């Protein structure tokens, strides 16, 4: 709730907008090292979340008055290093070898961020360590009525900003402050709005613009950071969660498109310039204010991701009719993004795609397991079931936000469904001899089944039952249970993993009331769409009665293997009749 209150607040503006006569910085060589070696007398934090005010390197000092193109590349390399690191929490990642500045942080510092905080924490951390100017939106207000500004129908506008000037605070204090003031509402802005100026802008869909450090905003309340773009155009991202875990995935249908006012999609940082500051003899800039460029002054600003790359629709309400054309062909938006980032080629290696998607789903199952473990360790399953669900199960706060998994589970289910749908797509392309399918074998379906079986066999998830005994699930076991796995943190771990067998459930301590809640929540578990605008604070008796916001009757098909077996023998060039 602190974040929501901060976002609703109002603060004085300290930002300066660049006028028409102002010149944007030109790319230049990267100056010398911008981080001093750690002091030999660092102060170690006595508690995990302590702020080390006395640490010699902790004061925020600006030594360079602007972000250059080299600085932006350096920031991208910093993000890429964290993304490639073998780390699973925000704290571990920033203390890992993937962070070139880790030696400058005392070992007692504990870094935290959720999905909305992480991009700001990474940007602020890099700016601080490199002595660069940093400014951020400290408050937003909805454009029109909104029950929750994180999910406002028409998006938000900037109403407060803070410049971080030399000596104003510790860098560690800044990171903590961002956790209080940044929420997913900060990203929910129309791409054309730049008065007052936001921190981020809508970039062109191009290989130069979608790069490590680019953000991806899902208007359902999630934010991710790109850390790598593969040669085939696949976008790899890293994201954080309320439990401080960091996960990795591919850009796909889990990041939905929506009306421009909601600001969904790709976002890049505006390069800040410190103006009217005084440079001391030690090279530190003091005073002044921070300016950010308007859209018209950004070379790669574009709103094509919202309106298409043809004629712009007459108004925002018609955004969905915008089309995407590449090399003379109209493409689905997601295919357009991938093809553009691949240099104009849209090609799929179906065997590799199935291999990678199964591996990605397995990783997501393990990420989910870590989240469930945290809830069990916190003892939520031992607490009484609340009388009502939160106002919205996907966008709550408190223990529900930290320990429940409805949004994470919905994204996981979407990924499993996409794997099933992609397999069908590849078979259809094969039958039609589609040149975009890069396959040199003789039996695609058999090869896809073999690849699926091989990768699925490598995947297993083990959890500890309430009595400590362990249960191991294979990939297909988990898939079959996917819509039975409880997102409710007040349920026993066996229910969290979708147990139905009486023997496996025998250790669950949930009483009749919790069992009734589990049964009543089944239609919510069947749903893969995250309905953040729905009122969902139902009592048990209310949830049992069908109605809006209570889920769907049946889950979608996620059984990719059954589909492939059903089309075994499909031949290249055969009419798509089955």
The 3-class SS string of 298-367 reads CCCECCHHHHCCCCCCCCHHHHHHCCEEECCEEECHHHHHHHHHCCCCCCECHHHHHHHHHHHHHHHHHH
| Residue bearing the bigger pLDDT, 30 or 564 | 564
Mean pLDDT over residues 149-171, rounded?
94
In angstroms, the first-to-last Cα distance of the chain is: 52
pLDDT value at position 201? 98
Could you tell me the pLDDT band of residue 569, with boundaries at 50, 70 and 90?
confident
Task: Measure the CA–CA gap between 214 and 208, rounded to whole angstroms.
Answer: 11
pLDDT score at 51? 40
Q: What residues have CB less than 8 Å from 212, skipping those under 6 apart?
A: 76, 77, 79, 80, 83, 226, 227, 228, 229
Residue 109 has pLDDT above 90, yes or no: yes
Please tell me what DSSP assigns to residue 449: H
Q: What is the mean pLDDT of the chain?
A: 89
> For the chain, what percent of residues have pLDDT higher than 70?
89
> φ and ψ at 106, to 5 degrees?
-65, 150
pTM over 0.85: no
pLDDT at 21: 33
Res 15: pLDDT: 33
Using CA atoms, how far residue 189 sits from 197, 200, 201, 313, 319, in Å, is 11, 9, 9, 19, 15
Instruction: In whole angstroms, give the CA distance from residue 76 to residue 469.
Output: 44
Q: Confidence band (pLDDT; 50, 70, 90) for 33?
A: very low
List pLDDT tens digits, range 343-384. 999 999 999 999 999 999 999 999 999 999 999 999 999 999
**Token code pair at residue 526:** 């069947």
> What per-residue confidence (pLDDT) applies to 14?
33
pLDDT digits (tens, 9 = 90+) for 69-82: 999 999 999 999 99
Confidence of residue 57 (pLDDT cuts 50, 70, 90): low
Whether the bond into 464 is cis, omega within 30 of 0: no
pLDDT for 378-425, tens place per residue? 999 999 999 999 999 998 889 998 899 999 999 999 999 999 999 999
The torsion angles phi and psi of 53, rounded to 5 degrees, stand at: -65, -30
């Amino acid at each position: 709730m602190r974040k929501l209150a901060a976002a609703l607040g109002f603060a004085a503006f300290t930002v300066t907008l660049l006028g028409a006569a102002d010149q944007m910085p030109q790319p230049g060589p990267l100056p010398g090292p911008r981080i001093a070696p750690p002091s030999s007398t660092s102060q170690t934090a006595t508690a995990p979340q302590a702020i080390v005010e006395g640490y010699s390197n902790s004061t925020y000092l600006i030594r360079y008055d602007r972000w250059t193109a080299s600085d932006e590349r350096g920031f991208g390399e910093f993000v890429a290093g964290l993304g490639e690191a073998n780390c699973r929490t925000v704290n571990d990642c920033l203390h890992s070898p993937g962070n070139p500045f880790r030696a400058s942080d005392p070992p007692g510092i504990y870094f935290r961020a959720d999905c909305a905080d992480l991009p700001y924490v990474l940007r602020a951390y890099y700016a601080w360590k490199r002595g660069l100017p940093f400014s951020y939106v400290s408050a937003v207000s909805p454009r029109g009525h909104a029950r929750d500004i994180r999910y406002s129908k028409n998006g938000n506008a900037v109403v407060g900003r803070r410049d971080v000037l030399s000596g104003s605070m510790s860098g560690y204090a800044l990171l903590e402050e961002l956790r209080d003031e940044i929420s997913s509402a900060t990203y929910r802005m129309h791409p054309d709005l730049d008065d007052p100026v936001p921190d981020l802008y809508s970039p062109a869909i191009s290989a130069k613009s979608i790069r490590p450090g680019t953000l991806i905003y899902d208007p359902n309340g999630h934010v991710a950071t790109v850390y790598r773009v593969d040669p085939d155009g696949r976008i790899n991202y890293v994201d954080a969660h309320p439990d401080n875990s960091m996960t990795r995935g591919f850009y796909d249908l889990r990041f939905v498109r929506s009306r421009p006012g909601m600001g969904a999609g790709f976002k890049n940082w505006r390069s800040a310039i410190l103006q009217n500051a005084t440079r001391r003899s030690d090279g530190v800039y003091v005073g002044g204010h921070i300016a950010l460029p308007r859209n018209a002054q950004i070379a790669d600003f574009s709103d094509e991701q919202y309106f298409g790359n043809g004629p712009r629709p007459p108004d925002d309400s018609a955004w969905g009719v915008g089309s995407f054309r590449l090399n003379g062909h109209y493409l689905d938006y997601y295919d357009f993004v991938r093809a553009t980032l691949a240099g104009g080629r849209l090609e799929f290696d179906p065997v590799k795609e199935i291999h990678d998607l199964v591996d990605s789903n397995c990783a997501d199952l393990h990420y989910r397991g870590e989240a469930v473990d945290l809830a069990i360790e916190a003892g939520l399953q031992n607490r009484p079931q609340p009388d009502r669900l939160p106002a919205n199960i996907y966008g709550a706060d408190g223990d529900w936000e930290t320990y429940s998994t409805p949004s994470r589970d919905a994204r996981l289910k979407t990924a499993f469904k996409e794997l099933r749908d992609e397999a069908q797509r590849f078979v259809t392309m094969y039958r039609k001899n589609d040149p975009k399918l890069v396959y040199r074998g003789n039996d695609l379906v058999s090869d896809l089944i073999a690849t699926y079986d091989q990768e699925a066999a490598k995947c297993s998830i083990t959890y500890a039952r309430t009595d400590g005994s362990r249960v191991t699930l294979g990939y297909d076991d988990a898939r079959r249970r996917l819509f039975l796995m409880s997102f409710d943190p007040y349920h026993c771990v066996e229910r969290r993993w979708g147990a139905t067998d009486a023997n496996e459930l025998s250790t669950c301590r949930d009483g009749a009331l919790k069992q009734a809640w589990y049964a009543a929540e089944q239609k919510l578990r069947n749903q893969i769409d995250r309905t953040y605008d729905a009122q969902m604070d139902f009592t048990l008796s209310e949830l049992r009665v069908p109605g809006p916001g209570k889920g769907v009757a049946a889950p979608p098909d996620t059984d990719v293997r059954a589909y492939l077996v059903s089309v075994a023998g499909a031949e290249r060039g055969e009419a798509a009749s089955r």
